Amino acid sequence: MQGTEILKVLPESMADAIKKAGPDWERAEEIRIRAKRPLLFYMNNEEYVLKREGVLVQPERGRSNNCYITAPEEIEKIIDKISGHSLYAYQDELRQGFFTLEGGHRVGILGKAVTEEGKIKTLKYLSFLNIRIAHEKKGCGMEIASRLVKEKRPCHTLILSPPGCGKTTLLRDLIRLFSDGFDYEEHQKRCWFPGRSIGVVDERSEIGASIRGIPTNDLGMRTDLLDGCPKAEGIFLLLRSMAPEMIAVDEIGSEKDFFAIKKAVNSGCTIFATAHGSSFSELEKKPVFASFLKENIFERYVLLSGRRGKGTVEKIETREADSI
């Protein structure tokens, strides 16, 4: 049943109401759960309010009585289930503000911050949850995979998209394809791209959705994954320990990231990465990106939008990489 990983961490009454409402899980995006507030469900770019009797209604009609109002103790129950009844063992997750469920669903959490020397040490009195619903769409990268190959080698590729337009979903499937290998057509001939050894730095546990270090998403048979590690440190660790032919990372943006990427490229690795942005020119205006992009490390820029649904490929821009 779709949504099982999410429903099993919710209180019984909340899960029953959602099951009765029968949401389209394929188009579901988020569930917003706030203490003493109505439960909101986001689906197909629309907002719905959950009613106690198990109905999802548009918000202008959802201000009537009998909305599902979340009790504070229900949030406590959700956190207890997510943490396996051992919240003390999840201090890193509390400090970062999110948990990852099986299937890659990400549960953002907020409450009262406990700080130490100006940094967040942990969170308590948890009162706000945002369940971001992940979608593993096998095959979504097949349409463009061959366009990221040049002379039988993978090209350094950057996937650009505004938030929520499917860049992580696309990256995940490209990792699987380039790890396992795939058929493609070139000059009217059927060709085979042999799989590569890929190292993945999954800083936010969204690519592999790992449970105790083992990915629950299919990333291919030649993929090694480092879970919960900052991107730059993770790239260096992969280079030292796993000798990957390719490295994939999600949402690059810091000077440390770019330094590590250049190190990987100099070591002979192909880079697949994603970044927030709606165009190449928009990236060029960001100071931290500008100098890096001038070096023309990336050979392919894949631009996504949500124009025809998440993951719409608007264009693939080709640039020749310089030797660095």
13: CB partners within 8 A, 6+ apart: none
Q: Taking residues 164-192, report their average pLDDT.
A: 91
Cβ pair 304, 167 in contact under 8 A: yes
- Residue 2 is predicted with a pLDDT of 67
- Residue 104 is predicted with a pLDDT of 78
pLDDT digit string (tens) for 14-40? Answer: 999 999 999 999 889 999 999 999 999
Q: Which of 90, 128, 131, 92 is nearest to 111 (CA)?
A: 128
- 324 pLDDT band, cuts 50/70/90, is very low
- Asked if residue 320 has pLDDT above 80, the reply is no
Burial 151-163 (b: 16+ CB within 10 A, else e): eeebbbbbbbbee
pLDDT digit string (tens) for 184-219? Answer: 887 778 889 999 999 999 998 889 988 888 998 999
Cβ pair 82, 101 in contact under 8 A: yes
Structure token digits, residue 117: 């020397």
Q: Where are the alpha helices (DSSP H) in the chain?
A: 4-7, 12-21, 72-82, 91-96, 142-145, 167-180, 231-241, 255-266, 280-284, 287-294
pLDDT digit string (tens) for 114-124? Answer: 888 888 888 88
pLDDT digit string (tens) for 258-303? Answer: 999 999 999 999 999 999 988 888 888 888 888 888 888 999 999 9
- Residue 323 is predicted with a pLDDT of 39
- Residue 219 is predicted with a pLDDT of 97
- Residue 68 is predicted with a pLDDT of 96
Over the chain, what is the mean pLDDT?
Answer: 90
- 319 pLDDT band, cuts 50/70/90, is confident
- Asked if residue 83 has pLDDT above 80, the reply is yes
**Rg for the chain (alpha carbons), in Å?**
21
- Residue 175 is predicted with a pLDDT of 98
- Residue 1 is predicted with a pLDDT of 56
